[in-house]
Structure formats: structure tokens, C-alpha cells
Amino acid sequence: MSGCDVLVTGAGAVGGHAVEFLARRPEIRRLAVADIRADLAGGIAWRARLGALQEDRNVSVEAFGVDLSDPEATAALVRRLRPRVVLHAATLLTVPEMARGLKPEDFARVRADGMGGFLAAHILLAKTVQAALDGLEAKVPMVTAPFPDFTNQVLARIGTAPITGIGNVDNIACEIQAIVAEKMAVSSRDVMPMIVAHHSVGEWFQRSGSAGEAPWFARVFVDGRDVSGNFDLAALMAESAARIRPVPQEQRTAASGVKAVLAVLRDEGRYLHSAGPLGRAGGWPARLWADRLELVDVPGLDPAKAHAINEAGQRAGGIEAVEADGTLVATARCREMMRDLFGVDVARVTPAGIEGTARALRAALSRRIAA
């Protein structure tokens, strides 16, 4: 198989659903999914092909068992496939895994003190995929799923920046769009949210029904008219969070990824909310083409204030700073929690130290869950 439309790296909950959704879109003729678990990738590919056939879509979906932490194997895969776009969804560990496996009080502390302590485990495979794409003659855009508000900053400093990250602020925007349309009895297509917020805001809303320690800025327009003053947007987010909390949410993050992938393939300047755009912290309104992303100014919000909002959200998520060379600096609260619960030092993680720290985090989480 060569010249595929989309390569999805990672066949977990987000990647698996994305493959299923993409297989049913008319823009997609050839699709590939890669995961270290060859049987899982194969099952996802076959399920997607069968589902597409139920809708009379005859699409090629091929699976590959690849260790995405292996630079040579990953590079060989992307050379073979020559994808038009990559949706990267693979990571060494997941939040649902922590939620299921850790004691409730330990998981609560991780969420409160900063998921950013686990960033190295989310960056490692993206870093390898990025290096493989950078080795190609033609530029291939990469769309990232694992914690892109944080990880895209590191990736932008060590190689070609991902064209966008998905989920997070895009999920918040979708919630506002849907619930305002419902309250006003208008079409959702007539509602345009404009939100600047970090992943941490979504975390807090899902956990407690409020933005908690993380600031955010939101405006919402209906047919071009600013209706933000008609609503308590935080209360609407709390209502949405209460509705969706009982069910898994990876499907909607996968849908955000599908939207971004299709925007690249269509080269249409699609309006969306981008996580970690242009190597920045947090999430921003943007327009996406095949080869570029442009931020959209939010009325009433100074760019410097927007940066401050997202950097404050980043600190709430456990990361004090991402330095010019890509070094991650954890907050005091986050590094103390990671040391107490997992025995891993995340105070400063350099790009060269990502792999060692990632594997230490994977091993420590496994031990903690087993215990």
C-alpha cells in the first residue's frame, strides 16, 4: 500500500474511533492504522472496513504492527505509506487507564496537582513519528491527540511543529456551540464560539463543573451577533459536563481529529479550535488549510492576555514552563506529587531525557496499578 490518504498512529480509544469515522468519509480511499499491538490494529482496520461497507463505502483499510518508539521501523512505515496526513493518537499511557487502575484518592491527586507530570510518556511516540516525517522529501502535516496543549510546544522546538492538536479546547467549543443552539432554539451551524482556554479548563469542568484554578475566555456569536452577555457560559459548561460525565468521551475527541484531518485534505481554511497551534501553549480559534494554520483574533481579547490565560492554564496542569530547547519544567506541586506517588523525577525533562523518563513513568504507573 502506498500513497495513503491518512495514517492513524495508535489504535486505542481515540485512534480506533478515528479510523472508524474516517473510513466512512467520501474523501478517504486509502487508510492505514499502526499500533504496537498488531492484533488490535488488525481488528480496528477490519471493523472500520466492514462498517464502511454497511454504508456502501468501499475503502482500503490496512493495519500495521509497529513499535512507534523504534525510529527505524517508524521511518520505514511512513516511507512505505507516504500519507497525505498523519493523525497521531499513540501514547505510552492513558488517563482512563489511570482512572481505572489507581486508587481514587491517588487519581484525584494526579488530576489536582497536574497531569503534566506524565508528559514525557505522551511525547515519546509523537517525537519518533515527527522525526520519521521530517525524513521525508515531501512535507506531511501531523495532527496530534495526546495532550497537544503541552506536547506541541516541545515538538515545535525539536522538529517540524504539528499543524494542529485536537480535542481539549475544540471539545469545549463544541459544547458551547451545541448548548447555546439548544437554549436559543437555533441551528448549531449558526452558532460560532470563540474560546481561548487550556486543556486544564476542560479537565476542571469535567471533574467539578467549574473552571477551577484555570482561567478561560469565551465569546459566542449567533448569525454574527455577540450573544455572550445573554448567558453564564461557565454554567452552560457545567450543565454540559454533567450530561456527558457518565459516558466515555474518546469518541468526541476522535471526531475533533477527523475534522482536522478533513480540513487538511480539503485545504479549505476550516474554522476550528486548535490545541497547541504554532508551538503555543493552550487552545485558540484558528483556520486550517493543507499546509498552514492561522490564528483567529478574538474580539475583546488582547493577544498578550490570551497568552497569559493559556500559560496560567498550563501551570494549573503541572507545567511551569517549556524552555526554548523544549525542556519541560514542572511546577513544585506537580513534581512533589510525581515523586510521592510514582518515584519519578520530572522537575526538568530535556528532549534527550524524554525517552528515559517516559519509560520510567510507564513502569511506575504499572507498578502502582498492580499494587
Q: Which residue type is seen at 320? A: E
What are the boundaries of each domain within the chain? 84-371
CB count within 10 Å of CB 299 equals 9
pLDDT band for position 1 (cuts 50, 70, 90): very low
pLDDT band for position 220 (cuts 50, 70, 90): very high
DSSP 255-292: HHHHHHHHHHHHT--EEEEEESGGG-SSEEEEEE-SS-
- What is the predicted pLDDT for the residue at 2? 54
pLDDT band for position 218 (cuts 50, 70, 90): very high
Q: Is the dihedral of CA 159, 292, 278, 35 positive or negative?
A: negative
- What is the predicted pLDDT for the residue at 209? 84
Nearest alpha carbon to residue 228 among 301, 325, 140, 145: 301
Q: Is 320 helix (H, G, I), strand (E, B) or coil?
A: strand
Q: Note the pLDDT tens digit of each residue in 4-37.
A: 999 999 999 999 999 999 999 999 999 999 999 9
Q: Which fold has domain 84-371?
A: L-2-Hydroxyisocaproate Dehydrogenase; Chain A, domain 2 (3.90.110)
pLDDT at residue 178 greater than cutoff 70: yes
pLDDT at residue 210 greater than cutoff 90: no
Q: Note the pLDDT tens digit of each residue in 244-263.
A: 999 999 999 999 999 999 99
If you average pLDDT over every residue of the chain, what do you get? 96
Q: Note the pLDDT tens digit of each residue in 124-155.
A: 999 999 999 999 999 999 999 999 999 999 99
In angstroms, rounded to a whole number, what is the distance separating the alpha carbons of residues 337 and 115? Answer: 10
211-224: average pLDDT: 92
